[in-house]
Chains A and B, each alone.
Chain A
Amino acid sequence: MRSKHSTLLTEIIIALLFFSLSSIIMVQLFAAGYEKSLDSKLSSQALYCAQDWAEQAIAAPLSPPDFFKSNGWVETEDGVLSYQHGDTLTLEYTFQLSQGNGGGVLYTGSLSLQAPRDDAPLLTLPLTQYRREGDL
C-alpha cells in the first residue's frame, strides 16, 4: 500500500515537472504570437495613417507642405515637417522643390512614420506631387 502511494506521488511530481517545463515553452510561443500580432497591428495602423495624410495632401488645393503646415504640422530647424499622431506615432514629411519654367512646382518627398521603441522608421511612403501654375 505504501509502495503504491509512493509510485503515485512520484508520477504526479514527474507530471507536474514536465507540465511546468512545457508551460514555459508554451508561454514563449504565445508571447511570440502576441508580439507578432502587435507588430502587425502597428504596421497596419501606420499604413492607414500615412495613406490618410498622403491622400488628403494629394487632394488638397494647396501644395503638400502648405497643406501639412495648415493642419498642425510643425516645421523643424532642418526644414522637415513633423506631426505627433496619438502617443505612439510620429510622422515626418521630408521634401524638396523643383521650380519648372512654366510656373509649375514639383514637390519630391516622402512621408515616414516612426514608432517610439524603434530606431528605423516603421514605413516610408513616397509622396511626390507636381502642381501646375493654375493648380495652386
Chain B
Amino acid sequence: MNKQEYRIGTGFSTLLMIFLVLCITTLGILSLVSARVDMKQTTRNLEMSQGYYEASGKAQELLFQIDQTLYTLAHSATSQDDYLAQIKRTLTLDASDFFIEDDSIFFSIDATKERYLDVTLTLTPYDGKGSRYTIAAYQLTDHQAWGEEETFLNLLQEDNE
C-alpha cells in the first residue's frame, strides 16, 4: 500500500505570510480608524458641552447685570409704567440677540455649533421688594435649518437657473 506524503511546496510559506500580513494590516487599520472616529466624537461632544457651559456662564453674568439694573430702577421709579419705560431706555446687554417686550426681557447667547441659549425673563410687578424677575425660559435651541449640512440632488430645473 502506497503511503501518500504531504510536503510543503515552494511558495506556500510566502503565500501564507502575505495572507497573514494582509489580515493583520486590515485589522490594525480598522482598529486605528475606529479609535480615531471615537476620539473625534468625544472631542466634538466635549466642545459642545464646553460651549453650552460657557454660554450658560455668560447668561448668568447677564442675569446678574439685569438684576443690578432692575434693583436700581425699582428704587428710583415712581410707577409701574415709569419702571418699564426706564428699563427699556437704560438696559443694554452684550448678547447675540436682545429685546424687551411688554414685561418680558429676551436675550440669546451663542453656544457654538449653530446653537443658542435663549433666555426669557418675566418682570415681576414693581414694588422694590422680593424677586425682580422670574425665569420663564432657559433653553438651548438649534438655529441650524434641518438638513442644512446635507447635499441634495438638484432635480428641479428652476433651481439650476
B14 interface hit (Cβ, 8 Å): yes
B19-45 vs A, Cβ < 8 Å mask (1 yes, 0 no): 011001100110110111011011101
Name B35's contact: one of A4, A33, A51, A101 (CB within 8 Å). Answer: A33
Q: Give chain B residues whose Cβ lies under 8 Å from the Cβ of A100.
A: 64, 67-68, 71
Query: In the complex where A44-B42, A44-B45, A100-B68 touch, is A126 in contact with B50 (Cβ < 8 A)?
Result: yes
Name A19's contact: one of B20, B36, B45 (CB within 8 Å). Answer: B20
B137 interface hit (Cβ, 8 Å): no
Q: Give chain A residues whose Cβ lies under 8 Å from the Cβ of B53.
A: 54, 125-127
- Closest A residue by C-beta to B30: A33
- Whether A125 lies near B31 (C-beta < 8 A) is no
- Whether B13 lies near A11 (C-beta < 8 A) is yes
Kindly provide the distance from the CB of A113 to the nearest chain B CB, expressed in whole angstroms. Answer: 11
How far apart sit A26 and B29, CA to CA, in the bound complex (Å)? 9
Name A125's contact: one of B28, B50, B60, B130 (CB within 8 Å). Answer: B50
- Whether A22 lies near B24 (C-beta < 8 A) is yes
A21-55 vs B, Cβ < 8 Å mask (1 yes, 0 no): 01100100110111011011001100100010010
- Whether A29 lies near B31 (C-beta < 8 A) is yes
Kindly provide the distance from the CB of A1 to the nearest chain B CB, expressed in whole angstroms. Answer: 12
How far apart sit A13 and B54, CA to CA, in the bound complex (Å)? 61
- Whether A102 lies near B28 (C-beta < 8 A) is no
Name A101's contact: one of B17, B50, B72 (CB within 8 Å). Answer: B72
Q: Give chain A residues whose Cβ lies under 8 Å from the Cβ of B77.
A: none
Name A34's contact: one of B16, B20, B35, B70 (CB within 8 Å). Answer: B35
Q: Give chain A residues whose Cβ lies under 8 Å from the Cβ of B130.
A: 134
Q: Give chain A residues whose Cβ lies under 8 Å from the Cβ of B71.
A: 100-102
Q: Give chain A residues whose Cβ lies under 8 Å from the Cβ of B131.
A: 132, 134
Q: Give chain A residues whose Cβ lies under 8 Å from the Cβ of B63.
A: 130
How far apart sit A128 and B28, CA to CA, in the bound complex (Å)? 44
How far apart sit A8 and B60, CA to CA, in the bound complex (Å)? 77
Name B57's contact: one of A16, A37, A108 (CB within 8 Å). Answer: A108
B8 interface hit (Cβ, 8 Å): yes
How far apart sit A132 and B31, CA to CA, in the bound complex (Å)? 51
A114 interface hit (Cβ, 8 Å): no
Q: Mind listing 12 A-B residue pairs with CB under 8 Å?
A: A16-B17, A18-B21, A19-B21, A36-B35, A36-B39, A37-B34, A44-B42, A123-B50, A129-B60, A130-B61, A130-B63, A132-B67
